[in-house]
Amino acid sequence: MSTKTAGKLRVALGTDHGGFPLKADLLPWLQAKCDVLDVGAFAYDSKDDYPDFAGAVARAVATGKAERGIIICGSGVGACIVANKFPGVRGGLCHDTYSAHQGVEHDDMNLICLGARIIGIEIAKEIVMAFLQARFSGEERYRRRLEKLRAIEQGALNRSP
């Protein structure tokens, strides 16, 4: 694991066996651009479980150890389900560049999930770049929606009327 480098975005990255080959391709490219907190898997193990690695990435984002998170599994679906269980994590499954930047600009998305069985390395790089370069717009309507999201997270809106 690397230490924080001034000026570079701190990004947590993790994968299970389903995303392992894509992570291996993505990691050196990402390390040239960001300060990467690699939470594994560090070796291919067909029996490993995505909640372990998705949880590690989401925990890093939720606790502020990383500003953004990237999780790769086979489809990205399981990773996304895990990530959004963590308070403060706003994760999206992104297989196109529009979702990758719009999710940040409108929804303050701080984590993306990729499916290594869905996309290849070049599309993955473009998606990750769109995600990392995007910033929350801060418009009032988006802030209002985030407040509602936080209320749901805290259980305030989850009871039946």
Q: Which of 11, 37, 71, 73 binds ligand RB5 (CB under 6 A)?
A: 73
Minimum distance, C-beta of residue 56 to ligand RB5, in the bound complex (Å):
15
CA angle 116, 78, 108 (to 5 degrees): 90
Is 73 a catalytic site residue? yes
> Where in 30-69 is the site for ligand RB5 (CB under 6 A)?
50
> Mapping DSSP to helix (H, G, I), strand (E, B) and coil, where does residue 108 land?
coil
Is 30 exposed, middle or buried (CB count within 10 Å of its CB: 0-12, 13-18, 19+)?
buried
Residue 74 in 3-state DSSP? Answer: coil
From the list 17, 34, 73, 101, the catalytic residue is 73
**Residue 82 CA to chain centroid, in angstroms?**
11
42 versus 155: smaller Cβ distance to ligand RB5: 42
Binding site for ligand RB5 (CB under 6 A): 16, 18, 50, 73-75, 77-78
Catalytic sites, residue numbers: 73, 106
